[in-house]
A and B are shown apart, each in its own frame.
Chain A
């Protein structure tokens, strides 16, 4: 069964800092990898989708990479802002099921 791990579990940074969130998964036979953002008490907002044939995706200040062979993905956030404070979830698509990590809770301090 696919297992997804996210490190660190929590991260606190000053505003303006660049940061990297890490995600690892045990089974490299994946369809896609998706990064989500979840604000407290809210649903999931999709940030980036990396299909299995791709190595990275970018959207604004966000860049996600995927290395299937090593079972790793990273989410890079440039010039962090207080509005980036949220929980970030990595999810691996294993065909009719997204396997989620437990998330990284990010706090950006003004």
Chain B
């Protein structure tokens, strides 16, 4: 069966520090991978998606970047965090028309 792992679960980082969130998928090949952010009191917003290794599409301009070094690994990064980067970050995968599966999320607080 397919599983998705996302870590860490919570993170408190000072403004200006770097960020690296990792997501891995098991039990499937060539999935589409996604990073979403859920800000407090707001809906989910797509940040990045990837249809293959090294292929990244960005949906919104921001202080973040994403990379896909391996087929089932998706990384969200920042060189210098801003207060506005605080939120709940969710990784997801999809394959064909079988819907999306989400990870358990990372709660990021920038202080």
Chain A residues near B (Cβ < 8 Å):
31-32, 34, 36, 41-46, 49, 51, 89, 91, 93, 96-98, 100-103
**B43 contacts the other chain (Cβ, under 8 Å)?**
yes
| B-side interface mostly | strand
Residue of A with least CB distance to B44: A100
Q: A41-B107, A96-B57 are in contact. Are A46 and B99 (CB under 8 A)?
A: yes
**A42 B104 Cβ-Cβ under 8 A:** yes
Residue contacts A-B, CB under 8 angstroms, 26 given? A32-B97, A32-B99, A34-B99, A34-B100, A36-B102, A41-B107, A42-B105, A43-B6, A43-B90, A43-B103, A46-B99, A46-B101, A49-B98, A49-B99, A91-B44, A91-B100, A96-B32, A96-B49, A96-B51, A96-B57, A97-B46, A97-B59, A98-B36, A98-B46, A98-B92, A102-B43
| Cα–Cα, bound, A31→B99 (Å) | 9
List of B residues within 8 angstroms of A101 by Cβ: 43
Chain B residues near A (Cβ < 8 Å):
6, 32, 34, 36, 42-44, 46, 49, 51, 57, 59, 88, 90, 92, 97-105, 107
| Cα–Cα, bound, A80→B85 (Å) | 37
